[in-house]
Chain A
């Protein structure tokens, strides 16, 4: 029913189509592209402009830009999905425990969250990234995910506090339901609605964050391609070979716009659901 509501909104429909296109290309293009698609094309050469042989041209190492955008998309989107899934889980867990338990536990958790929220996220990331020599992809995902749940936990806690005053939660208690049942069957499903919209918007944030980190040379390390990294490593050729940075740039913009459109429409649609 929420899918239908999403489809009825022009913004939601456009977002879904865009997002589906990006995902299809990123996931299935390698099957279509000529193998070995990530190898440098030494015959044709460096800095080829977009054309018949290479749809989006080649870069400074004679690599096909289209192939790298596709491969970079897999990395960038995986980082985004992994990090958001992690911060969603952490935020939901902490928010639900704080909101449900209340008392000193709630107070301690929320003061910690306040403190963490007061530090800029990029600064936290720079500290973690700074103390490590080389950053494996997994560490990058965990780092971004673990610094992104503070806002989510506040949102979840507020929703749990609201739901707890509703009679169906008290009714479940009176029926003899234990804490786990109340958390899992009564609170969690009702928290997920408002959370979905916020999460989709967070995906856009994380894609930009990863691009930013990679652009600063602190994110995904070469030769692994990522959208932000591609822009970073091609910055010196921006004027002579703009297609190398333009292609991943357009990919970032399209994905973020698509995700935000879906997120906005979801927020609208969930606002219409009866509470």
Chain B
């Protein structure tokens, strides 16, 4: 593997709760997460609400300060940077949010929104901006004449394309995609996913793709990291992880995913209970109250399982065992 573009080590983010003198239990949103992303690679971060995946994304871009750990982008620790150096590195890492209706300023035209990053980072002269905006809109599959419109005149899919063009305007190498298609209609979802794949091919972008929909993940990601209550519980190549999940939580996620293939589904695992709150994380293995493995025992209640290599990836489970014959990894075309 080449030199990673992004190196995340032991990242921790806790939120204090309670007011004034009475401190409540801290919300432990991210509890020591480490991973790498190579240039041009897509890592999918999968988890349910409360897993901490969106908090993690905000900390990665230093939109929030962590309580521990480091994030290195292209070798530079982003938490030690001063304002000017931070602005320069932010140009190279951008984010696309889930809800395209909230992601655009309603009082700014599409053209102004796309050009804003160029203004901030002084890319090209202001006279060149309109032409660059037009080229970017075309690159994301929009008519350049839309530059004069306001976001409310656009459909959800068009807005999400504008948000992507706005991010691309500063020529980043790395995009955080926070559920970018989950608010879109099915037929439009596919358009945006295809666009993201094409942009990656053309520009060599690296993606951190945050999602809860495993079928979407399979379409776009090279590797998958599964997050539960602020920790990674399993990481591996997409095809092997989805075909033969090793952690019981991943198994349940794969099994619960709705699939438009009647009859094709293996025996269903329906987890009992809800994901616990990140302010009351169970001791030992955080998954043990919902675990269904026959092998679970007292150790699961007391001892936090470390991530250990197994199969083609890593797993945090005392009892996960490698399946007899896991299919080989096949990177997305």
Please report A residues at the B interface, Cβ cutoff 8 Å: 166-168, 170-178, 181, 185-186, 189-190, 273-275
Contacts and interface: CB of A to CB of B under 8 A. Distances in A.
Given A167-B97, A189-B107, A175 B120 contact: yes
B254 interface: no
Interface stretch (B86-94, B125-133, B199-207): B86-94
Nearest to A192: B107
| Interface core residue of A167, A173, A185, A274 (most chain B CB under 10 Å) | A167
B264 interface: no
Contact of B87 (A167, A170, A172, A176): A176
B296 interface: no
A181 B106 contact: no
Nearest to B100: A167
A166 B166 CA distance: 16
Contacts of A190: 105-107
Contact of A274 (B87, B98, B106): B106
B94 A175 contact: yes
B97 A175 contact: no
| Interface core residue of A166, A173, A176, A177 (most chain B CB under 10 Å) | A176
Contact of B170 (A176, A185, A186, A189): A176
Contacts of A181: 120
Interface string B39-75: 0000000000000000000100101000000000000
Contacts of B61: 174
Given A170-B95, A176-B87, 7 more contacts: A167-B97, A167-B103, A171-B103, A173-B63, A177-B116, A189-B108, A274-B152
10 contacts: A168-B105, A171-B95, A174-B63, A174-B95, A175-B90, A177-B120, A185-B108, A186-B108, A189-B105, A275-B106
Contact of A168 (B90, B103, B152): B103
A175 B63 contact: no
Contacts of B163: 171
B121 interface: yes
Nearest to A172: B116
A171 B120 contact: no
B99 A175 contact: no
Nearest to A165: B102
Contacts of A273: 106
Contact of B116 (A167, A170, A175, A274): A175
Interface of B: 58, 61, 63, 87, 90-91, 94-95, 97-99, 102-108, 116-117, 120-121, 152, 163, 166-167, 170
B102 A168 contact: yes
A175 B106 contact: no
Contacts of B116: 172, 175, 177, 185
A176 to B, nearest CB: 4
Contact of A167 (B91, B99, B107, B167): B99
A176 B88 CA distance: 8
B117 A175 contact: yes
A274 to B, nearest CB: 5
A176 B107 contact: no
Nearest to A171: B103
A167 B106 CA distance: 12
A218 B309 CA distance: 83
Given A274-B152, A275-B106, A170 B63 contact: yes
Contact of B117 (A170, A176, A185): A176
| Interface core residue of B58, B104, B106 (most chain A CB under 10 Å) | B106
A186 B95 CA distance: 17
- State the 3 A-B residue pairs at the shortest beta-carbon distance, nearest first: A189-B107, A167-B97, A176-B90
A191 to B, nearest CB: 10
Contacts of A171: 95, 97, 103, 163, 166
Contacts of A178: 87, 120
A83 B219 CA distance: 61
A175 B105 CA distance: 13
Contacts of A189: 105, 107-108
A173 B117 CA distance: 10
Contacts of A168: 102-105
A175 B108 contact: no
A134 B94 CA distance: 61
Nearest to A174: B95
B152 A175 contact: no
B166 A175 contact: yes
A87 B87 CA distance: 35
A174 B105 contact: no
Nearest to B118: A175
